[in-house]
Structure 1
Amino acid sequence: MPLKTHPEDAPALNLTPMIDILFLLIIFFMVGSKFTEMERSVDLDVPQVNDLGALTAAPEKKVINIFRDGRVMLGTQVVSLEDLKTELSTSQAQYQDLGVLVRGDSDVPFQQVATVLTTVRQAGIAEMAISVRLANERR
C-alpha cells in the first residue's frame, strides 16, 4: 500500500458566486435609483397648501381619579359628576376618539366607580379603561 509523501493542496475558497451576488445587488440599486429620478422629473404641478401640521393631534387619555372619601378628580381638579359630564362632553366634541382612564382607590365601593363609568358613557365617551395594579407590585 503506497503512502502519500506529498502534502495535499490547501482547499480553495471560490468567490465567484459571492461576486456575482454583489454585482446583481449593485445593478438592482442602480436601476432602483433611476426610477426615483424619473419620478422626480415628471412634469407635474402639484397644488400648494400652507404648512398647518397635523389636522388634529390625538390627545392623551383623560384621567379620572376616585378617592376613598368620594372625591372625583378630572386631571388635577376636583369635579362633581355633572361637571365631569360637561367637561367630557366638551372634550369629546373636539376630538371624537377621546379616551378615559378611571383610577379608583381600592377602598372605594364599586358603586362609586360604576357611577363614574356611567357618567363617562353618558358624556359620549366610548373608549374607557380602568387602572389596576398587579397583586405582587409594591407602591
Structure 2
Amino acid sequence: MSKRTNSEEATINLTPMIDVVFLLVIFFMVGSKFSEAESRIKVNVPSVGEMRSMTRVPDERVVAIGIDGSVTLDDAPMSLSQLTQTLRQEHSNYPGLKVAVRGEADGSQQQLVDVLQAVRISGVDQIGIATKRMQR
C-alpha cells in the first residue's frame, strides 16, 4: 500500500485581517477630520462666579443628657441656649439635619423635655429619642 501525500500546504487566509485593518484606518481618518472641524467652531463658554467648598452633611448629631442634668452635643458640653444656637446654625446650613436625644433612664424628665424644646426651637424637625430595648 502506498501512502498518499497531500500536495497542498496549509496557509493562513489574511483577507479578513486586512479588511479589519483598512476599516480601522478609515475610522481613524474620518474621526480626526471631525475633531478638526469641531475645534474651528466658536463657542461662548459661560463663566463661573466664586465657588464655595462643599462640606459633608453630618449624619446625625447626638445630644446627651447626663444624670446630673448636663447637656452635651457630640461630647461637647454646652448650655441649652448654646445648644439652640449651634443647632440653628447647623440647620440653616443643612436643612435635613437629624438630631438624636439620649437621656439617662434615671435622669430628670423635665431636663429631657427642656432639651427637646431647645432642639425644636432651633428649627430641627427630624428629632429622635434614643431608647434601649427591654430584656424579657
Query: Which category describes the TM-score, using the shorter chain as reference length?
Result: 0.5 to 0.7
What residue identity is the alignment partner of 2:65? I
* Corresponding position: 1:59 with 2:55: no
- Measured in 1, the distance between the counterparts of 2:129 and 2:83 equals 17
SS of residue paired to 1:125: coil
What residue identity is the alignment partner of 1:131? A
Counterpart in the other structure of 1:108: 107
- Deviation of the 1:109 alpha carbon: 1.8
- Measured in 2, the distance between the counterparts of 1:57 and 1:131 equals 24
In the TM superposition, structure 1's runs of 4+ consecutive aligned residues that sit over 3 Å from their partners are: 55-58
Q: List per-residue Cα deviations over 1:37-86 (Å, max 9, x = no partner).
A: xxxxxxxx9x99x9x9xx66432111000011010000111100010001
- Measured in 1, the distance between the counterparts of 2:113 and 2:93 equals 25
What residue identity is the alignment partner of 1:78? P
- Map 1:40-51 → 2, pairs under 5 A: none
Counterpart in the other structure of 2:78: 79
* TM-score, scaled to structure 1: 0.58
* Corresponding position: 1:90 with 2:89: yes
SS of residue paired to 1:82: helix
- Map 1:20-35 → 2, pairs under 5 A: none
- Deviation of the 1:110 alpha carbon: 1.3
What residue identity is the alignment partner of 2:115? V
Question: What is the root-mean-square deviation of aligned Cα atoms in Å?
Answer: 2.9
SS of residue paired to 2:99: strand
Between 1:96-105 and 1:128-137, the stretch displaced more is 128-137
- Measured in 2, the distance between the counterparts of 1:132 and 1:76 equals 18
Give the unaligned 5+ runs of structure 2: 1-37, 39-44
- Measured in 2, the distance between the counterparts of 1:65 and 1:102 equals 6
| Percent identical | 31
- Measured in 1, the distance between the counterparts of 2:75 and 2:68 equals 16
Distance 1:56 1:77, change over 3 A: closer
What residue identity is the alignment partner of 1:77? A
What residue identity is the alignment partner of 2:92? A
* TM-score, scaled to structure 2: 0.59
